[in-house]
Amino acid sequence: MSIKLKVTFTIIISLVIGGLAIIYLLDKSYKDNINLVAEESIRAAKETFNSLERDDTKMLSSTLEALLINEEIKKIFLKKDREKLFEYATPLFKNLKERYGITHWYFINPEPDQTIFLRMHKSTHSDQWGDVVKRATYLKSVETKGFGTGKELGKTAFALRVVHPYYDNNKLIGYLELGQEIDHFFEIMKKQTGNDFGLLIDKKYLDEKAWAGVRAGKGLKNNWADMHDVVLIDKTTKDEHIIDFKGDLEEVVPPAGKVLEEFKKNGSVFVRGVFPVYDAKNTMVGGVFVIKDITSIYNSMKATQTKAVIFLVVLMSAISIIMLLMLNNLIFVRLNSMINTATRVVGGDYQTKIIPSADDEVGKFESLFEQFRTVFVNILNELEKKK
């Protein structure tokens, strides 16, 4: 292979490697940007979720304080007239539910009984009262004689709960508890961010039969078996599959949250992330999945990459042609000229001279070669004379 071909291949290979390196850097920059976008989405979603929890806890606490000083309700409760209490408080509970989204209201007997006296969100049937309360928020209220607050899982749902001792003339007569399911959090978060969300809970904290009953009551397919360790209990998207998850949430998800993967669905591109959800005992019971549509960013990146590739191809071609022309004119043409002159000398043409074409390395070689030619011609002439 000639030097010219070797140089040509070297130039082309170098430019290709350089082009691939630039494309790699563009792709890495895109992935870094997507990771930053996803991390920011997780951080913002987590902050919004916590803010909604704080605001609703304040609302529940304020509402509960108002109920604690309602003397008429207190009188009926002291009489232990369950039917009358339910009848009297129902319009109030209906108003609280419509205006503030309060979904649970409990009257609880004091210790050592610690049983449910009445569930306003259920009925006065015997199977709806009399069970012992063991929830962490209630136990915290018993221990501190103040508010017990936090998120707690029931058999099928996640609810924000607020509990406080119930007093009459400084005498403990029981406890009042208000609760609110947190499903509305995600609708608010979607309106604020445009992202979709899904709440996955570890199955060990739920009741399978109760969950099946809830799904059947809503006319929904029982999704208990869709995932191995977790179940999707709430979502803002119609497509449950984009929230599929395999693995142990406790092992995968750090406290600050984690970016998962990028994926495509129905022509759109999404990135997923998740942050942990803790109950009133500070136990991680599940995770909130954040699904962000990055189609516009992806398309912009692809368009940029396409332009970059076209630009690189044109640039590489131009550089290759320019470098080859320069090498050809500065080196190869002049070398061929010296080769032709040497060939003529060997063939008997002693008159053709090599004139240096430039004051550079090749020009110096041309001068040296001309000196060699002159010496060679003189030696031949001397030999001819001697003959």
116 pLDDT band, cuts 50/70/90, is very high
Quickly name the fold that domain 56-181 has.
Beta-Lactamase (3.30.450)
Write the DSSP symbol of residue 83.
Answer: H
Place of tokens 């191995």: 228
3 has a pLDDT exceeding 70: no
Residue 1 pLDDT: 62
Residue 245 pLDDT: 85
Beta strands in the chain (DSSP E): 104-108, 116-119, 148-153, 158-168, 171-181, 196-202, 230-235, 258-265, 268-278, 284-293
152 has a pLDDT exceeding 70: yes
More confident residue, 105 or 210: 105
As to burial, measured by CB atoms within 10 angstroms (0-12 exposed, 13-18 middle, 19+ buried), residue 337 is: middle
pLDDT tens, position by position, 360-384: 777 777 777 778 777 777 887 777 7
Residue 28 pLDDT: 85
More confident residue, 171 or 22: 171
First CA to last CA distance, the chain: 44
Residue 302 pLDDT: 81
* Structure-token pair, residue 169: 């003339």
What pTM was estimated for this model as a whole? 0.76
How much is the mean pLDDT over the chain?
Answer: 86
Q: List % helix, strand, coil for the chain (3-state, nearest 5).
A: 55, 20, 25
C-alpha to C-alpha distance for 148 and 138, rounded to whole angstroms: 6
Host H or E run for residue 386: helix 361-386
Q: What residue segments make up the domains of the chain, in order of their start?
A: 56-181, 302-386
Residue 27 pLDDT: 82
- How much is the average pLDDT of 227-237? 90
Count the residues in the chain.
Answer: 387
C-alpha to C-alpha distance for 291 and 158, rounded to whole angstroms: 21
60 has a pLDDT exceeding 80: yes
pLDDT tens, position by position, 247-267: 888 888 899 999 988 888 888
